[in-house]
Amino acid sequence: MKRKFLYLLSFLFLAWIANSCEALSGCKKCQDVTYEDGVVVFATPETEYCGEELIKKESIPDAPVGNQIIKVECR
């Protein structure tokens, strides 16, 4: 019984590790930042993106709105 429990626990742990975003290469935290005359006016909270979602987020071009510019910044 103990052996089955350990196998199950090991399997669940490995499944969790395999699906973890940190286990994937290329994860970054991104936020949308609004600049006005080079000064930050507003910034959204950081959100972690991995894989295809990260590629889509980083490919968003800067968006000028009046005298403000909205940029996606990832670190």
Span 4-51, pLDDT tens digits: 777 777 777 777 666 655 555 678 999 999 999 999 999 999 999 988
**H/E stretch holding 41:** strand 39-43
pTM, two decimals, is 0.65
What phi and psi, each to the nearest 5 degrees, are found at residue 60? -70, 120
